[in-house]
């Protein structure tokens, strides 16, 4: 994986003090020259800015160890780190910037400032995708800077309390935004009944926005689950997506 370039590596043993009153982001890892591994833009060359903290605690989360170990970086520090690489050039050429977590919406104020300051400094805004667990309402200012919403509401099998994971008013709002997709992690056949009962029948989201993705923390698990999910997607006339980073790099993070 010589082509993946790291700006900030995940390091649970590293602790950085909070910066005074300057705007900052708590960043778990930051890397580029890789691809979007999931969702509607699977395969797209991309940079990943993974922020710390999440609103959920899914039992199968494969990035928990990473997003729990972030550190505060001022916007200026982030830009200086970026300036020492060719990331800005790659973003200008069309690499997508994926804001992921954890929960990007937990730091949407900082991310708004980051994207605005980016535009001021470099004269353009990168094509921006946001991974979103759909439990926090986006500010209009932040939403205006997002090009694609990769929403991923959690089903009951995630182990999160219903009140914490299922927010109908937020789902309905997210579905009304342009370029909003809803990617569901599928573990069992009965997951479709839950999608139909809790998301489609109440009219919160539309069928054309749905993407089904198999649970797959490693290649073995992904390969075990994917045929069932492909069959479900065909039967229900919705999209299927794999987890291409697992196919390529198995359990390795930071790629």
The residues of the shown chain that bind ligand SF4, judged by CB under 6 A, are: 54, 56-58, 61, 63-64, 67, 101-102, 133
Q: Which is nearer to ligand SF4, 96 or 243 (CB)?
A: 243
* Closest distance of CB 41 from ligand SF4, Å: 18
* Closest distance of CB 184 from ligand SF4, Å: 12
Q: Which is nearer to ligand SF4, 87 or 246 (CB)?
A: 246
Is residue 102 within 8 A of residue 52, CB to CB? The reply is yes
Q: Which is nearer to ligand SF4, 57 or 116 (CB)?
A: 57
**CA gap 238, 101 in Å, rounded:** 26
Q: Which is nearer to ligand SF4, 58 or 195 (CB)?
A: 58
Q: Which is nearer to ligand SF4, 28 or 82 (CB)?
A: 28
* Closest distance of CB 21 from ligand SF4, Å: 29
User: Pick from 21, 123, 144: which is nearest to 76 by CA?
Assistant: 21
Which residue's beta carbon is nearest to the bound ligand SF4? 61
What are the tokens at 250? 């198995």
* Closest distance of CB 101 from ligand SF4, Å: 5
* Closest distance of CB 145 from ligand SF4, Å: 21
* Closest distance of CB 2 from ligand SF4, Å: 27
Largest CA distance in the chain: 55
**CA gap 200, 181 in Å, rounded:** 13
Q: Which is nearer to ligand SF4, 34 or 160 (CB)?
A: 160
**CA gap 200, 205 in Å, rounded:** 6
**Phi, psi angles (nearest 5°) of residue 220:** -60, -45
Tokens 């009140």, residue?
163
**CA gap 79, 81 in Å, rounded:** 5
Is residue 87 within 8 A of residue 48, CB to CB? The reply is no
Tokens 């800077």, residue?
145
Q: Which is nearer to ligand SF4, 56 or 95 (CB)?
A: 56
**CA gap 250, 222 in Å, rounded:** 10
* Closest distance of CB 168 from ligand SF4, Å: 18
What are the tokens at 224? 């075990």
């Amino acid at each position: 994986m010589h082509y993946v370039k790291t700006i900030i590596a995940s390091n649970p043993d590293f602790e950085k003090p909070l910066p005074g009153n300057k705007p900052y982001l708590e960043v778990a890892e930051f890397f580029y020259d890789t691809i979007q591994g999931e969702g509607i833009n699977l395969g797209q060359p991309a940079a990943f800015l993974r922020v710390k903290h999440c609103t959920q605690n899914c039992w199968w989360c494969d990035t928990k160890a990473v997003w729990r170990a972030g550190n505060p970086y001022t916007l200026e520090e982030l830009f200086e780190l970026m300036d020492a690489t060719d990331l800005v050039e790659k973003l200008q050429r069309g690499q997508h910037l994926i804001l992921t977590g954890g929960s990007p919406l937990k730091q949407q104020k900082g991310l708004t400032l980051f994207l605005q300051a980016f535009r001021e400094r470099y004269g353009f805004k990168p094509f921006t995708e946001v991974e979103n667990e759909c439990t926090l309402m986006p500010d209009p200012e932040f939403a205006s800077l997002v090009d694609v919403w990769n929403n991923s509401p959690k089903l009951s099998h995630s182990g999160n309390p219903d009140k914490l994971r299922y927010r109908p008013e937020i789902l309905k709002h997210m579905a009304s935004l342009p370029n909003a997709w809803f990617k569901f992690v599928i573990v069992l056949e009965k997951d479709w009944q839950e999608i139909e009962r809790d998301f489609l029948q109440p009219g919160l989201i539309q069928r054309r926005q749905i993407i089904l993705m198999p649970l797959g923390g490693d290649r073995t698990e992904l390969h075990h689950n994917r045929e069932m999910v492909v069959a479900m997607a065909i039967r229900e006339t919705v999209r299927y997506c794999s987890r291409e980073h697992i196919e390529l790099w198995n359990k390795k993070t930071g790629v």
